[in-house]
Amino acid sequence: MANYDQEVASLKHSIWRFLVEELSDTITKYENLRDGLQRGIDNIANQIEIRTQSVRTLENEIVGLSKNVTSVQPAVDEINRTLRSYGFTNFEIVRSLTLENHYSIKRENGEHAHETLSEGEVTFITSFTLFSLPRGLLIKTP
């Protein structure tokens, strides 16, 4: 019994050595699997970052390109079609010559009608313009 503590320590050491040797292949497979999965996770995270940056770049490009194609012409055409369909033929909407992406009102004879519109004409144009906004006819793309 004098070397009981020494024998217990030796037994524990032998058990651990046995377990390590017996499970060496299993431990190695686990470590390889864990390392492979971590590399896969890192790769996917990297791809997500790359794709996210690509999406941001494309969104910025779309905004930039949209600024170049914004036009009031579709709104002008739609308003003029509607004016004609309601019998307003003594004036029309035209693109502004002085302000980009704006429009003005022109009489049949070519003069600008801003100061000479009747109250009914002003009310109709204002109402139609406000009605058109939710449909996106006159909204400038950011």
- State the Cα–Cα distance between residues 93 and 103, nearest whole angstrom: 7
pTM score of the predicted model:
0.42
Q: What percent of the chain has pLDDT over 70?
A: 87
| Per-residue model confidence (pLDDT) at position 140 | 46
- Give the confidence band of 66 by pLDDT, cuts at 50, 70, 90: low
Per residue in 20-60, pLDDT tens? Answer: 899 999 999 999 999 999 999 999 999 999 999 999 999 88
Q: Are 75 and 137 in contact (CB under 8 A)?
A: yes
Closest CA to 140 of 47, 74, 88, 56: 74
Q: Are 63 and 142 in contact (CB under 8 A)?
A: yes
| Per-residue model confidence (pLDDT) at position 137 | 46
Type of residue found at 118: S
- Is the pLDDT at 138 greater than 50? The verdict is no
pLDDT averaged over the chain?
Answer: 83
CA angle 64–98–60, rounded 5-degree value? 5
| Per-residue model confidence (pLDDT) at position 141 | 44
Contacts with 101 (C-beta within 8 Å, 6 or more apart), sequence order = 70, 71, 72, 140
- State the Cα–Cα distance between residues 57 and 60, nearest whole angstrom: 5
